[in-house]
Amino acid sequence: MSTSLIAMGVAIFLVINLVIGLAALSLIFGTFESLFGKPKLTILRATQSGNFFAFGFKWNSSKEPVKIDKVGLRLFNPFGNPTQVEVSKSFDAKTSSFATEVDMGPGFIELLGAQNFDFAVVQVVVQSSKEGIAWQFDMKGPKFRKLVSGANLSVDQFTKEKALAADKGSKPPIDIPIRSFIADTVPGKGSQLAIPTNPAFAAQFAGTAASAVSGGAVAAPGAPAAENFKIAKVWIEPGCIVCNACEDIYKDVFEVLADTCIIRPNAPLDDGLRVQEAAEACPVEVIKFTKAS
Ligand code: SF4
């Protein structure tokens, strides 16, 4: 066999090996990309209570150079009330992975406090308004609630830990109005939520604005006034999301701290109706009480 034939054989062998190697590498990196290159949402601990939603979002901004400027939360709750809630908010556009805390408005509390939330699905949608791109993360109600109430990292801690650009605040360039829908329930399941914004109950609540402002429980016109009662014991079970609702209703009894709510020492226990009102307003139903006999 001549030397040139041997050299040609070696060259062909090397080229085949190179092609196989490149194919293997591209397969490996493709798999890594599909496994680890997907945008990732992390729900964080809001440092401000109530309507605030904190989250971190990581994506490959060199591959997808978009400006992210909006987050939305959607509740699909076919077996409860309300059956659907959607809130969205704009913030300063981000061009690389970030973490931020956004005031979602009262719709966020309504969403968390929906009846039959455990059977609902929550979608978190992170969007680029300009490019018309959105990433959607679906999870069941209990998982979402657990992530929100159990989040440990704040925006600052997450930013530091992931070496992200510092968040410069979340003042919205355009304040998108909060939208909330109350749709019909699935026939035979649940009942309509009796709140003033539900068209089905509009007549019932007509003219009750004054009593709502005074801080008392809202009663339908003509309904007999509920009799007040004394409380034997009131307490908070684990799971408070520090929304402030209870303290707003009855601050002599409830005190909201940085990460939970407590009952004030020597809290008055003679206005059971207000304690009951606070318990009913608690979106995660952790306020418990017993009536005095
Ligand atoms: S106890 Fe309930 S109403 Fe009060 S702050 Fe906690 S979650 Fe809100």
Residue 13 has pLDDT above 80, yes or no: no
AA letter at 157: Q
Mean pLDDT of the chain: 77
pLDDT the model gives residue 22: 53
Q: Give the residue with greater pLDDT, 161 vs 253.
A: 253
Q: Cβ < 6 Å from ligand 1: which residues? A: 236, 240-246, 254, 256, 261, 282-284, 286-287
Per-residue pLDDT reduced to its tens digit, 70-120: 999 999 988 888 889 999 999 999 999 999 999 998 888 888 888 888 888
Q: Would you state the pLDDT for residue 198?
A: 54
CATH class of 40-181: mainly beta
More confident residue, 190 or 156: 156
**pLDDT confidence bin for 206, thresholds 50/70/90:** low
Residue 261 CA to ligand 1 centre (angstroms): 6
Residues 6+ apart with CB under 8 A from 13: none
Residue spans of the domains in the chain: they are 40-181, 194-221, 230-293
Select, from the ranges 4-13, 72-81, 113-122, 228-237, the one with the highest average predicted confidence (pLDDT). 228-237
By the 10 Å C-beta count (0-12 exposed, 13-18 middle, 19+ buried), 53 is classed as buried
d(CA 252, CA 54): 29
Q: Which helix (H) or strand (E) holds 89?
A: strand 84-94
Average of per-residue pLDDT across 157-168:
79
pLDDT in tens, 14-54: 767 756 655 554 444 444 444 445 889 999 998 877 788 99
Whole-number Å distance, alpha carbon 257 to ligand 1 midpoint, is 10
pLDDT of 19 reads 62
Residue listed under structure tokens 């159990």:
150
Locate tokens 């309507």: which residue? 51
In this prediction, residues 48-70 reach a mean pLDDT of 88
Q: Nearest CA to 222 among 198, 206, 238?
A: 206
Nearest residue (CA) to ligand 1, atom 6: 240
pTM metric for this prediction:
0.52
CATH number 3.30.70.20 given to 230-293: yes
Closest-CA residue, ligand 1 atom 4, reads 246
Taking the centre of ligand 1 as the mean of its atom positions, its distance from the CA of residue 179, in whole angstroms, is: 23
